[in-house]
Structure 1
Amino acid sequence: MNIKSLLLGSAAALVAVSGARAADAVVVAEPEPAEYVRICDVYGAGYFYIPGTETCLKIGGYVRYDASVGSRYNGYDGVWNMDKRTDKWQGTWAKTAKIVLNVDTGQETEYGTLSTHIGIKALNSTSRVDGDLAYIAGGTPGYSTTTNSAGLDSASIKLGGLTIAYQDSIYADWTGYAGAAVNNSFIEYGDYANTNQISYTFDAGNGFSAIVGLEQGYSDTIDSYVPHVVLGAKFTQGWGGISGVVAYNSVQDEFAGKLRADINVNDQFSLFVMGGIGSDKHRGTTDKDAYSYEYKPWSGAWAIWGGGQYKLNEKATLYAEASYDADKDAAASLGVAYELVPGFVIKPELNYTRWGNHAGPSGSSLIGGDGVTVAPKKSGWGGVIRFQRNF
């Protein structure tokens, strides 16, 4: 080996060592292991574990838009006007936009499932009156009224069978309200407005369950230390179910109850019928007056509701409903719920309503814009179309 070869080899070695040391000097941080959200399917679809906890969380709700048209007496508040040229009650339109955001949690404990629910809502409604009415503030023809509101829709804490909540009355919720129609409460079936309440539900695990609850009330808010009392029981199976509920109104010292039967004829066709009865000792002095209270908001001693649904195909469901009470009030609805895409439902609906032995929501005749007393029309047709995105 000569001197030249030795020098070249040494230089190459130094370059290699220097390169290795330079590479060692650059430290590349290892990526942190990704922590993916874990699905929680214990409480149904949409739940996931809050990272670092054993609590499951679900965020959901809906955005809804309704547009209705028809007579004042078709069950849509504010949808009316009087044309003094013809002295006829005519229909006009009303529109409502509503959003509800729900946040639900669930966690298993030694005392059973601990769950919470929070519902926040916001509402905007607009109606138009084209007639000239002194009855309405100023009686200005061709004006619109708009209202906006936002607030707490519902809130609850549940541990096992115990529920402490601000939500729909047990009296309305336990028997499943009154069908799928948008206009299903012309003849009201119970106080579905929110109320403070505490209840305990017993679930036997074989389809039978029962509930006992104490409520503050919404319109008949308790004025003593005695709360409203609600009791209910139900039995559900694959063929359908039977449910019943009774309530004591401590303010009015009145009792009311409802019984409902649901029948699943087959996978496409289902029916329901529900009847309500209540004490009526505060009934008015005339035959045309009918006393109502929080658990018996219908007129007269009894009322009945019924209807059915038929699944036409994967997207469309046809429904029809009707109701009637002891004071000869009547209502009927026919509509289609069409799921255009998953989560987006369009629901056009036709309605007919009739007031029976009393004048209707006004209580008596109204004063027209020309100062002439006019008798309100007791029946009418109307319609509504609903767009709703559920998520």
Structure 2
Amino acid sequence: MKTVIKNVLLGSVAGLAMVGTAAAADLPVKAKAAEYVKICSTYGAGFYYIPGTDTCLKVGGYVTADTYFTDIEGKTRVTVPGVSYRLDNDPDGQSYFLTRVGVQLDARTQTEYGTLRSYFEGRFNAGESYGFGQEIDTGEFSFSDGIRNSAEMKYGYIQFAGFTFGRATSAFDFWAGDGWQGIQPGSFYSDVTLNVIQYTADFGNGFSATIALEDSYGREDEFANFEELSGQQVPDIVGNIAYEGTWGAFKVSGAWHQIGDWNPLVGPDFGNGPTSLFTSNDDSGWAVLAGVRFDFAETTTLYVEGAYASGAPGYLGLDGTIPVVDAFGRAVEGWYVGGSLIHYWTPSVFTTVVGSYTQSDNFAVGYDIDVNNNTNFTGVSSTDFTGYNVGVNIGWVPVKGLTLVLQYDYLNAEYSGSDFLYGNVTPISYSQEAAQNRVTFSAKRSF
């Protein structure tokens, strides 16, 4: 009997021990604290703290899909001794598509010296391009006819204690074609992103001033860089005074641009080979700009801007369109005026009228013209460039972040030859003109 009782007691103790062990295994274990993404309200909507840091990050982007229909008419006029003819080129209209995807990252950290900011925007472009307009990649005005598949870094800069380092908007520019819609606006204005070192002083009450060293290669085409500039020796020096207030904004800016030595070797051939007669007379280019923006009753915005440049066509958005110096080495001068009027009829419907006009002074160019494939004329003549563009559009924002726009614009660009200067014939006149009608439908989704 004692043995039975003993066995029962031992079995009970063992069972209790097993139950106690199981119960202990089921007890909750203290988990490691999870790091949740927190909203950062310091810099506005869309910012979040990067987990484990005090840096706020905003991730955004956009997709733009454009459909174009372009009709171009070209005219060429040549007058030489005994020959005068005009050639008209009126091809059928062209339709084409362009798509752009943009990715934006904005990281900010508060420090004892103020906000430390780094910003990046990458663009991926695909499609065909045909016609005159601001270049999809560089922002310069030109004619393009070819594939536009590309990837580019539009912005990539660091801002700290008033300084900006990296690829950013030029301190010279103000009106960046605001009002034009689509990937390839067709106007004449300065809107350049390039490598810079800038310092901005904030005086309070909306006033500021900026001084900058900017990469001159960002303002010139390849020919100017290596032929007219002889490579960059000194960066462009740019400065501005600006104001931003409740009624709008204004900016006055100026720039100095080194031209460098250039010998065009355009002397005539009198049987002894070309004679080197001409060298650069100007070694410094410059540009000035003044722009103002008026904001009316939160529904209407008016931009007006004008710029003048001598030996610095990139500051007119005309790099590659007019030369830095002419065939005699003289700095080529030009100017433009432009702007836009944007009005919101309702919070989701707007219309815009936008345009600009540009003109260069008369400058010397070399020519080599073959008339009727049997008579060749060479020498130096003079010409000037004139261009204007006007556009209207209507836009609809059906939902937040989506904009649909229908736009029409007309552009005219002309090189007008005037008088003979130097060569083996006299007189001579050579002119080219292009007119463009274009309709654009643009859809843009921002997020």
Correspondence for 2:70: 70
User: What is the CA–CA distance in structure 2 between the aligned matches of 1:87 and 1:213, rounded to whole Å?
Assistant: 45
Question: Is the contact between residue 201 and residue 212 of structure 1 (CA under 8 Å) also seen in structure 2?
Answer: yes
Correspondence for 1:313: 346
Which moved further from structure 2: 208-217 or 175-184? 175-184
Question: Is the contact between residue 307 and residue 320 of structure 1 (CA under 8 Å) also seen in structure 2?
Answer: yes
Correspondence for 1:95: 97
Q: Does 1:250 align with 2:258?
A: yes
- Match for 1:197: what amino acid? V
- Listed as ranges, the gaps of 5+ residues in structure 1 are 1-7, 75-85, 130-143, 281-291, 360-374
- Match for 1:248: what amino acid? W
User: What is the CA–CA distance in structure 2 between the aligned matches of 1:384 and 1:197, rounded to whole Å?
Assistant: 33
User: What is the CA–CA distance in structure 1 between the aligned matches of 2:313 and 2:35, rounded to whole Å?
Assistant: 55
- Match for 1:309: what amino acid? I
Which moved further from structure 2: 8-17 or 229-238? 8-17
Question: Is the contact between residue 301 and residue 342 of structure 2 (CA under 8 Å) also seen in structure 1?
Answer: yes
> How far is 1:302 from its partner?
2.1
Q: Does 1:346 align with 2:404?
A: yes
- Match for 2:399: what amino acid? V
Cα 1:334–1:128 change in 2 (3 A) is closer
Question: Residues 214-256 of structure 1: CA distance to partner in whole angstroms, max 9, x if unpaired?
Answer: 1112225573432101111111211112212111111262111
Question: Residues 5-47 of structure 1: CA distance to partner in whole angstroms, max 9, x if unpaired?
Answer: xxx9999999777645532233433444443211112222211
Cα 1:319–1:278 change in 2 (3 A) is same
TM-score normalised over the length of structure 1: 0.75
- Match for 2:244: what amino acid? T
> How far is 1:276 from its partner?
1.2
Cα 1:39–1:23 change in 2 (3 A) is same
> How far is 1:185 from its partner?
5.5
- Match for 1:239: what amino acid? W
Matches within 5 A, 1:131-210: 145-172=146-173, 175-182=174-181, 186-190=186-190, 192=192, 194-210=193-209
User: What is the CA–CA distance in structure 2 between the aligned matches of 1:145 and 1:164, rounded to whole Å?
Assistant: 34
Question: Is the contact between residue 343 and residue 389 of structure 1 (CA under 8 Å) also seen in structure 2?
Answer: yes
Cα 1:234–1:128 change in 2 (3 A) is closer
Question: Is the contact between residue 249 and residue 295 of structure 1 (CA under 8 Å) also seen in structure 2?
Answer: no
Correspondence for 2:337: 304
- Match for 2:299: what amino acid? Q
Which moved further from structure 2: 156-165 or 108-117? 108-117
SS in 1 for 2:23: helix
Cα 1:271–1:147 change in 2 (3 A) is closer
> How far is 1:310 from its partner?
1.0
Correspondence for 2:303: 272
Cα 1:243–1:205 change in 2 (3 A) is same
> How far is 1:356 from its partner?
4.3
User: What is the CA–CA distance in structure 1 between the aligned matches of 2:316 and 2:148, rounded to whole Å?
Assistant: 28
> Aligned match of 1:227 in 227, 230, 235?
235
- Listed as ranges, the gaps of 5+ residues in structure 2 are 1-7, 75-87, 132-144, 260-282, 323-332, 360-384, 418-430
How many residue pairs end up in the alignment? 334
SS in 2 for 1:25: helix
SS in 2 for 1:23: helix
SS in 2 for 1:295: helix
SS in 2 for 1:72: strand
Question: Is the contact between residue 70 and residue 130 of structure 2 (CA under 8 Å) also seen in structure 1?
Answer: no
> How far is 1:87 from its partner?
5.5
Q: Does 1:383 align with 2:439?
A: yes
User: What is the CA–CA distance in structure 2 between the aligned matches of 1:96 and 1:73, rounded to whole Å?
Assistant: 22
Q: Name the one with the larger strand percent.
A: 2
Cα 1:147–1:318 change in 2 (3 A) is closer
Question: Residues 35-61 of structure 1: CA distance to partner in whole angstroms, max 9, x if unpaired?
Answer: 321111222221111111111111112
TM-score normalised over the length of structure 2: 0.66
User: What is the CA–CA distance in structure 2 between the aligned matches of 1:73 and 1:353, rounded to whole Å?
Assistant: 11
> How far is 1:273 from its partner?
0.9
- Match for 1:274: what amino acid? E
User: What is the CA–CA distance in structure 2 between the aligned matches of 1:114 and 1:266, rounded to whole Å?
Assistant: 34
SS in 1 for 2:181: coil
Question: Is the contact between residue 191 and residue 294 of structure 1 (CA under 8 Å) also seen in structure 2?
Answer: no
Question: Is the contact between residue 73 and residue 354 of structure 1 (CA under 8 Å) also seen in structure 2?
Answer: no
Correspondence for 1:238: 246
SS in 2 for 1:329: strand
Cα 1:235–1:333 change in 2 (3 A) is same
Matches within 5 A, 1:326-345: 326=359, 328-345=386-403
Cα 1:258–1:116 change in 2 (3 A) is same
SS in 2 for 1:102: strand
User: What is the CA–CA distance in structure 1 between the aligned matches of 2:52 and 2:310, rounded to whole Å?
Assistant: 54
> How far is 1:188 from its partner?
2.7
Correspondence for 1:365: none
Cα 1:21–1:126 change in 2 (3 A) is same
User: What is the CA–CA distance in structure 2 between the aligned matches of 1:269 and 1:189, rounded to whole Å?
Assistant: 21
User: What is the CA–CA distance in structure 1 between the aligned matches of 2:52 and 2:186, rounded to whole Å?
Assistant: 49
Question: Is the contact between residue 188 and residue 388 of structure 2 (CA under 8 Å) also seen in structure 1?
Answer: no
